[in-house]
Amino acid sequence: MEHGVKLFGHSVHPMLIVFPLGLLSTAVVFDLIYFASANPAFPVVAYWLIAAGIIGGLIAAIFGLIDWLAIPSGTRAKTIGIYHGLVNLVVVLLFAGSWYLRSGSAIEPPTSALILSFLGVALALVGGWLGGELVERLGVGVHEGANVNAPSSFTSENVAHVRTPAKKA
C-alpha cells in the first residue's frame, strides 16, 4: 500500500526516523560509558544528542502523521499505526523529560534522567517493532509492484509489470 509523502519514490518518514533513533540510543550508550569511565564529557555529549534526537523525532512524527492519515479507516494498519505513533510520542516525551532533568547538571545527570532515557530506548524498540509490522506485514508504504527485480525508483518504468521469476522446483 503506497501512500504519504515521497522523495525520489520513497516514503520520507522511514528516511527520517533513523536520525532520532540513532541519536537517542547513542545518548544512552554514552550514559553507559559514563558509568564505566566516570568521564564527565560523556553525559554532556548525551545531553546534546538527546536535544537533537527530540527535534528529529518531532520532525519524523509530522511525516508519520501524514502517512497515518492516508491509511484507510477500519483497517488493522490504522490501529497499529496509531499505537506506533503514540508509543514513539511517549519515547520523545521520556527523552524530553530526561533532557529537562539534565539541564541543571549535564555533567552529572540525576538518576531520574537516566531512568527516563533507559525507559525511552526500551520503548523505542516497541515502537520500532510496530513500525516494522506496518511495513513488513501490512505493506504500508510499500510500492504495489515491489519485488526483488523491480527497477530503480529513479526510472520511469512501471514496476507493476516487472515480476520476480518463478522458483524452479
pLDDT tens, 11-27?
788 889 999 999 999 99
Q: How far apart are alpha carbons 20 and 122 in whole angstroms? A: 14
Q: Quickly list DSSP for 77-138.
A: HHHHHHHHHHHHHHHHHHHHHHHHHHTT-SSS--HHHHHHHHHHHHHHHHHHHHHHIIIIIT
**152 DSSP assignment:** P
Q: Which residues contact 34 (CB under 8 A, 6 or more apart)?
A: 40, 42, 43, 46
Q: What's the predicted TM-score (pTM) here?
A: 0.84
Question: In b/e form, how buried is each residue of 66-81, taking b as 16+ CB within 10 angstroms?
Answer: ebbeebeeeeebbebb
* Under-50 pLDDT residues of the chain: 161-162
Whole-number pLDDT of residue 7:
72
Whole-number pLDDT of residue 12:
80
Whole-number pLDDT of residue 142:
77
Q: How far apart are alpha carbons 147 and 158 in whole angstroms? A: 12
Q: How far apart are alpha carbons 60 and 157 in whole angstroms? A: 29
Provide φ and ψ at 7, rounded to 5°.
Answer: -135, 120
Helix (H) or strand (E) holding 32: helix 12-37
The residue type of 32 is L
Whole-number pLDDT of residue 101:
96
Whole-number pLDDT of residue 163:
52
**42 DSSP assignment:** H
